[in-house]
Amino acid sequence: MKIDTLFIDKAVQKDLEIEYLLSKVNADPQWVDNTQTIYDFINSDDDPILRAKKTLYITRNKGAVIKECPGTSFYTCCDYTILHTGTFCTMDCSYCILQAYFHPPVLQYFAGLKKLGHTLEKTFRQNKIFRIGTGEYTDSLIWEKISLQPKFLIETFAKQNNCLLELKTKTVNIESLLHLDHNEKTVFAWSLNTPAVISSEEKGTASLKARFEAARRVESEGYKLAFHFDPIVIYPGCEVQYKKVVKQIFKYVHPESIVWISIGTFRFMPKLKQIIEKRFKHSTIPYGEFILGLDNKMRYFKPLRINIYKEIISCIREYAPDLMVYFCMEDQEVWEKCIGFFPEKEGELGHLLDKSAVTHCSLNSNLL
């Protein structure tokens, strides 16, 4: 999706960071002092969500820069830490929860690398392992082509030994990042799906082959990798197709370079169904066999989830028996039936992921 409208908060200082953004975004800047102007502009469109994906708002983060992952007590959480650097996305996946999460959705870039650096320095000084990612409210690498932010983050994380940076993406925007001094502290993570799902539900994203080729390129530069099968979409024949995707992982990269693989099926707030029906009339994904979960999200029936999980995990184990595989937001029964154990104690899953981060990314093992 190409940005064609640019708003800038008047409170943002015009420095080198902003000059770089302006040089990369082909749109005349409109300086505003009121976000209502942007909301009105977006909401005036027949498709506000699509309009938002083409409208960039450069502003400051007026809230918390570092946040805990918004998990739920009903399902096991990975204790991930969010670095809040922007919101929304220029790609257009039918299942994207951000369509229903933001009101209205706004493609925001949070300027202020100096402030961001100061905040990270405080985190680095804590005697604790942190797994920090920017891909919760946006795609981490949509910003690579227009901003200095990803480069700044990689170089900042390279200077310390207790925090890992995970950049999660469906793009192949890696060119400016390949030859940086990363000190093994950055993990490039790709969301994966079958070619059928990518073609029908992930508009504007890189092809599966392109994602794997990008993963191979960053691995050759010493970066570590992660992959996320989330959301898994259940459809006739999907088991065979997802196993083909797993096999391709190990065709392109070495298992030793992979810090973890996460797995989760399609789940959504009920109101997202109406958005999908309106914006993606071809899509059939909201019409599966769903039940309302304890977190008030619609989920596939548990036997369906367990079946596809077992197929994918068994295939992973053929190539990488000791690779860290975990579920995103699943319960004890699913863990035990599919992986053979359950991280029952509070923080146990987070500790297992921290151990994998220490092993692969040369973090300080004394902090475990």
The model's confidence at residue 349, banded by pLDDT at 50, 70 and 90, is very high
Higher pLDDT, 347 or 325: 325
The helix/strand count (H/E) of the chain reads as 13, 18
Q: Is the pLDDT of residue 74 over 80?
A: no
In the chain, domain spans:
64-84+114-367
Secondary structure string (H, E, C) spanning 33-81: CCHHHHHHHHHCCCCHHHHHHCEEEEECCCCCCEEECCCCCCCCCCCCE
pLDDT digits (tens, 9 = 90+) for 176-226: 999 999 999 999 999 999 999 999 999 999 999 999 999 999 999 999 999
Strands 325-327 and 258-265, bridge-based pairing: parallel
Mean pLDDT of 339-344: 93
The predicted structure's pLDDT at residue 76: 80
What's the confidence (pLDDT) of residue 115? 93
Q: What is the mean pLDDT of residues 111-140?
A: 95
Q: Nearest to residue 242, comparing CAs of 229, 251, 254?
A: 229
User: In CATH terms, is domain 64-84+114-367 a member of 1.10.3720.10?
Assistant: no
- Are residues 167 and 135 in contact, defined by beta-carbon separation less than 8 angstroms? yes
Task: Flag whether pLDDT at 71 surpasses 70.
Answer: no
Q: Which of 66-75, 122-131, 177-186 has the lowest mean pLDDT?
A: 66-75
Helices 113-124/149-157 angle, 10° precision: 20
| Rounded (10°) angle between helices 208-220 and 238-252 | 30
Residue pLDDT, tens place only, 275-328 = 999 999 999 999 999 999 988 999 999 999 999 999 999 999 999 999 999 998
Give the pLDDT score at 72: 67
Q: State how far the Cα of 224 lies from the Cα of 252, in Å rounded to an integer.
A: 13
Measure the CA–CA gap between 67 and 51, rounded to whole angstroms: 28
* Average pLDDT over every residue of 96-116: 92
